[in-house]
Amino acid sequence: MGGPDDRALKLYDEHAKTCAPDDFWGQVKRTVNGKPVDDAQIDMIVDCVRRGLALTSKDVILDLCCGNGALTDRLFDACSGGLGVDSSPHLIEIAQSNFSRPPARRYVVGEVSEFAASATDCSIFTKAVCYGSFKYLNNDTALRLLQHLQARFARIDLIFIGNNADKALAKDFFYEGAYRPGVENAHDSFLGMWRSEDEFSALAAQCGWKAHFHRMPPAFYAARFCYDVVLTRAALGTA
Ligand SMILES: C[S@@+](CC[C@H](N)C(=O)[O-])C[C@H]1O[C@@H](n2cnc3c(N)ncnc32)[C@H](O)[C@@H]1O
């Protein structure tokens, strides 16, 4: 999975083509009742990632599943730039037209676990982020990604994985009668895969990462059902 036949890889590519070229938040479904969220919501995300990663001007970040780069660009403002990787050729084209400023701010098409396995410039990155997207990776792909980040990206000591759907709350999310057993495991649906904090910790621990959980303030539109995770390198035997 995570290969070219994985439906999750095409979900956003196909959706984004139905949106206006400048509807950056609509393209990545950052909407409430079909309308793009406002700037205050975006500022909350940027602030939370900046603080979670303790970004400084010395950092170079790897944005995994960067989408159209609209969020990435705001994170690049808080550091020395970096690279965004996403499987959607359409979204990367939008990122390149609107936000690319090589060599400091670059965007490439790629499946993130394959990118992490094959990248040659791993040592330039000091931190990584994966916002609103980890839920589209099934467990095999997620494991491969975290293992490669651990083994090949020696300078990355913090990874921010934001907006993860909380499995403990999945049944509360659906309107009465709309819940279908197993829907929380469908990484290739628009809601993606729901994981409990315990499942997330176990997944991270298998790859040598320790998970630290955070919740967004209640004013954040997705606060009720989602949590953020910061991964740090686990000391051997303590993951
Ligand atoms: C909800 S969008 C989030 C984009 C961006 N991180 C943001 O927060 O604005 C999810 C993104 O994940 C990408 N994606 C899903 N699975 C992927 C994979 N295995 N490798 C690379 N990109 C993937 C999709 O193409 C899509 O752009």
Please provide the DSSP assignment of the chain as one string. Answer: --STT-THHHHHHHHHTTS-TT-HHHHTT-EETTEEPPHHHHHHHHHHHHHHHT--TT--EEEET-TTSHHHHHHHTTSS-EEEEES-HHHHHHHHHHT-BTTTEEEEE--HHHHHHH-S-GGG-SEEEEES-GGGS-HHHHHHHHHHHHHH-TT--EEEEEEEEBGGGHHHHSPTTT--TTGGG-TTSTT---B-HHHHHHHHHHTTEEEEEE---TTSTTTTTEEEEEEEEPPTT--
**pLDDT at residue 118, as a whole number:** 98
CA 114, 13, 133, 193 dihedral sign is: negative
Query: How remote is the CA of residue 237 from the centroid of ligand 1, in Å?
Result: 32
Q: Which residues contact 225 (CB under 8 A, 6 or more apart)?
A: 165, 166, 169, 170, 172, 173
Domains and CATH numbers, the chain: 8-233 (3.40.50.150)
Query: How remote is the CA of residue 236 from the centroid of ligand 1, in Å?
Result: 31
In this predicted model, what pLDDT tens digit does every residue of 77-96 receive, in sequence order? 999 999 999 999 999 999 99
Q: What mean pLDDT, rounded, does the chain reach?
A: 94
In this predicted model, what pLDDT tens digit does every residue of 29-73 receive, in sequence order? 999 999 999 999 999 999 999 999 999 999 999 999 999 999 999
What is the pTM for the complete model shown? 0.96
Query: How remote is the CA of residue 101 from the centroid of ligand 1, in Å?
Result: 21
> Looking at ligand 1, which atom is closest to the CA of residue 29?
1
Query: How remote is the CA of residue 117 from the centroid of ligand 1, in Å?
Result: 18
- Ligand 1 pocket mutation, candidates 98, 130, 133, criterion most atoms within 8 A of CB: 133
> Looking at ligand 1, which atom is closest to the CA of residue 112?
20
Whether the predicted pLDDT of 3 surpasses 80: no
Pocket of ligand 1 (CB under 6 A): 2, 8-9, 12, 28-29, 65-67, 71, 86-88, 91, 111-112, 131-133, 136-137, 141
Whether the predicted pLDDT of 236 surpasses 80: no
Question: pLDDT category, 180, cuts 50, 70, 90?
Answer: confident
**pLDDT at residue 171, as a whole number:** 81
**pLDDT at residue 4, as a whole number:** 60
Question: pLDDT category, 159, cuts 50, 70, 90?
Answer: very high
Q: Is 188 or 86 the better-scoring residue by pLDDT?
A: 86
Whether the predicted pLDDT of 239 surpasses 60: no
